[in-house]
Amino acid sequence: MMMRSRKSLIALVALLISCVQTLSASKAVAAQKFRADEWVTECDSSPGIGAPDCSITVPFWQSRGAPRGSFALVVMLQTGNMGIVGEPFPTKAVLRIDKNPPIECREARYCVFPSMQALAALKQLKTASLVLIDVYTEKGEFSFSLTPKGFQAGMAQIRAWGYRTE
């Protein structure tokens, strides 16, 4: 009887250790996610020193008339990269924030804006009131207007999670 109880106890302890390790591992890879308007903010689970490993994405689409298209503006805060992705694949995109000069990318499939212009646009988004996006594809041109309020709320949430944003 003692041997059986001891084996059961060892099995129970091993099971508990396994559960704790699994729970810890799942918390380590869990991402933080926040949504405001259509904008989606996502960060890794460990705020620390330096730029946050976070992204802010806003989808936009045209489903009436022809052509139809679905796109997203993606902002990677750690690198400052900013781009337009979607279908049909963009070949060019123009981004205007308030009355600032437009920035343009000309890459097939994943249209990534030049780094210096993207960093300037990132700063502009923090206080902007209007975002205009023109996406050009082989099937036609798409024009969108968005409010950056969801982006600004996402930045506030990133700070609330304990990440540095400056």
Residue pair 119/80 in contact by the 8 Å Cβ criterion: yes
Show the tokens assigned to 104.
């343009």
Helix (H) or strand (E) holding 50, with range, is none
Q: What is the mean pLDDT of the chain?
A: 83
- The residue ranges of every structural domain in the chain are 1-29, 32-160
Q: In the structure, what pLDDT confidence band is assigned to residue 20 with cuts at 50, 70 and 90?
A: very low
pLDDT tens sequence across 36-54: 999 999 998 666 655 668 9
Predicted model pTM: 0.78
- Choices 3.40.50.300, 2.60.40.1880, 2.40.128.90, 2.40.30.10: CATH for 32-160: 2.60.40.1880
The two beta strands, 69-76 and 81-87, are: antiparallel
In 63-123, which ranges are E strands? 69-76, 81-87, 90-97, 103-105, 111-112
pLDDT tens sequence across 53-68: 899 999 999 888 778 9
Which amino acid, one-letter code, is at 73? L
